[in-house]
Amino acid sequence: MEHFMEQMEKTAPVRRHRALRAAFPVTAPVMTGFLVLSIAYGVLMQTRGYGPVWSGLMSALAFGGSMQYVAIGLLTAAFDPAQAFLLAIMVNARHIFYGLSLLEKYKGLGWARFPLIFALCDETFSLVSTVEVPKGVAPRDFYLAVTLLDYAYWVCGTLLGGLLGNFIAFDTTGLDFALTALFVVLFLEQWKKRENRPAGLIGIACAAASLAVFGPDRLVIPAMAGIVTVLLGGRKRLCT
Find, among 114, 127, 147, the residue nearest to 16 by Cα.
147
**164 and 225 share one domain:** no
Question: Per the domain annotation, does 65 fall within a domain?
Answer: yes
**51 and 111 share one domain:** yes
pLDDT for 194 equals 82
For the chain, give the mean pLDDT.
82
pLDDT for 1 equals 44
**80 and 123 share one domain:** yes
pLDDT for 170 equals 67
For residues 153 and 28, what is the distance between their CA atoms, to the nearest angstrom? 10
**159 and 209 share one domain:** no
Question: Does the model's pTM come out above 0.85?
Answer: no
**Looking at the 3D structure of the chain, how many domains does it have?**
2
141-200 pLDDT tens trace: 999 999 999 999 999 999 999 998 877 766 767 766 766 776 777 677 778 878 778 888
Residue 88: C-alpha distances to residues 93, 94, 105, 158 (Å): 8, 11, 26, 20
pLDDT for 146 equals 94
81-116 pLDDT tens trace: 777 787 777 777 778 777 888 888 888 888 888 999
**201 and 128 share one domain:** no
**77 and 153 share one domain:** yes
Residue 125: C-alpha distances to residues 22, 77, 162, 208 (Å): 17, 32, 27, 29
Domain carrying residue 224: 193-240
Helical ranges in 166-196 per DSSP H: 177-191
For residues 31 and 184, what is the distance between their CA atoms, to the nearest angstrom? 19
213-235 pLDDT tens trace: 988 877 777 887 888 788 777 77
Q: What is the DSSP letter of 192?
A: T
Question: DSSP letters of 81-148?
Answer: HHHHHHHHHHHTTHHHHHHHHTTTTTTT-GGGHHHHHHT--HHHHHHHHHSPPPTTS-HHHHHHHHHH
CA atoms within 13 A on the CB side of 196: 8
For residues 74 and 83, what is the distance between their CA atoms, to the nearest angstrom? 9
**136 and 235 share one domain:** no
pLDDT for 187 equals 77
